[in-house]
């Protein structure tokens, strides 16, 4: 990896929240968007990309350092997309290329759909769009059980249930965890109570997504195998009429193999 790049940490007030975001590097603007993952998860990839891009990462509202006025507010893809559009405004940027991963890919798709013209190349990496699956009802029922597990048994139990639901059969602890335990518990609680269901039930308007971005790329981890998001990504790519683009690693390849992931992303973004 490249040496750590100093990030310019900034805040932005948006309706109902205060966002914390980071800016690195110089060059064409590139946003790395996660959900529920915040800026910390993209730090290594952002450092590497800062060699030739102005890279912006942020903590979604209610996650990490970003706060919300109403803790009971749900985090919908449309609301998160509005926040990303506000970040673009704060940067005086009419548009940017966007990599969205997991729920962040749903945010990025909502950005293209509801804020047309603000996205150049949109890389949607493993969006969990369950309604695109032929057995969507089964997947939604499993997600509902995860949320129920959270309410009845807490965050740790919910992550274990979530891991099995999405296909991390050998990982009872769920996705990689970064940050202190208290923050992880707060972020997990918000994810299960106010974010997961809204993200997985969102349905893209494919025509509007196509019209709202200059180009849409659907990415899948080379090691994602039987993960639920492998199937949802393939379904989205079929609707868009584009091939699935392989990225190194699994669902969080940008974290597991940041240099290889960044090299692939550079190649994708260079294709016009």
Q: Give domain status of residue 163, yes or no.
A: no
Q: Give domain status of residue 77, yes or no.
A: yes
- Give yes or no for a contact between 79 and 61, defined as CB atoms under 8 angstroms apart: yes
- Give yes or no for a contact between 109 and 209, defined as CB atoms under 8 angstroms apart: yes
Q: Give domain status of residue 162, yes or no.
A: no
- Burial 232-265, CB ≥16 within 10 A → b, else e: bbbbbbebbeeeebebbbbbbbbbbbbeebbebb
Half-sphere exposure of 163 (CA within 13 A, CB side): 16
SS3 105: helix
Domain residues for the domain of 219 are 8-133+202-270
Q: Give domain status of residue 169, yes or no.
A: no
Q: What is the mean pLDDT of the chain?
A: 93
How many whole angstroms separate alpha carbon 161 and alpha carbon 174? 8
SS3 125: strand
Query: Can you give the pTM of this predicted structure?
Result: 0.94
Grade residue 181 by pLDDT with cuts at 50, 70 and 90: confident
Each residue of 34-50: pLDDT tens digit? 999 999 999 999 999 99
Q: Give domain status of residue 190, yes or no.
A: no
Q: Give domain status of residue 73, yes or no.
A: yes
First to last CA, the chain: 27
Q: Give domain status of residue 123, yes or no.
A: yes
Classify residue 165 as exposed, middle or buried by CB count within 10 Å of its CB (0-12, 13-18, 19+): middle
Indicate which CATH number applies to the domain containing 241: 3.40.50.1820
Between 160 and 170, name the one with better pLDDT.
160
Q: Give domain status of residue 234, yes or no.
A: yes
Grade residue 95 by pLDDT with cuts at 50, 70 and 90: very high
Q: Is the pLDDT of residue 166 over 90?
A: no
Half-sphere exposure of 49 (CA within 13 A, CB side): 32
Interval 246-250 mean pLDDT: 94
φ, ψ (nearest 5 deg) of residue 167: 115, 5
Count: domains in the chain: 1
């Amino acid at each position: 990896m490249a040496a750590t790049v100093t990030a310019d940490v900034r805040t932005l007030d948006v309706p109902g929240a205060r966002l914390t975001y980071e800016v690195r590097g110089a060059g064409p603007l590139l946003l790395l968007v996660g959900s529920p993952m915040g800026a910390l998860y993209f730090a290594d990839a952002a450092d590497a990309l800062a060699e030739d891009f102005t890279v912006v990462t942020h903590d979604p509202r209610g996650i990490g350092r970003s706060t919300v006025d109403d803790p009971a507010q749900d985090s919908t893809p449309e609301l998160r997309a509005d926040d990303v559009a506000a970040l673009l405004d704060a940067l005086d940027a009419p548009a940017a290329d966007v990599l969205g991963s997991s729920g962040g890919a749903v945010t990025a798709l909502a950005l293209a759909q509801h804020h047309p013209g603000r996205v150049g190349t949109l890389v949607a990496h493993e969006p969990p769009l369950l309604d695109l699956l032929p057995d969507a009802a089964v997947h939604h029922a499993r997600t509902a059980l995860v949320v129920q597990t959270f309410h009845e048994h807490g965050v740790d139990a919910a992550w274990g249930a979530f891991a099995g639901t999405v296909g991390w059969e050998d990982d009872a602890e769920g996705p990689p965890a970064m940050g202190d335990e208290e923050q992880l518990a707060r972020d997990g609680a918000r994810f299960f109570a106010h974010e997961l269901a809204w993200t997985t039930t969102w349905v893209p308007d494919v025509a509007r997504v196509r019209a709202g971005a200059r180009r849409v790329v659907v990415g899948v981890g080379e090691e994602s195998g039987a993960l639920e998001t492998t199937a949802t990504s393939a379904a989205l790519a079929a609707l868009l009429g584009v091939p699935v683009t392989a990225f190194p690693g699994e669902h969080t390849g940008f974290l597991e193999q940041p240099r290889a992931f960044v090299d692939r992303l550079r190649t994708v973004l260079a294709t016009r």
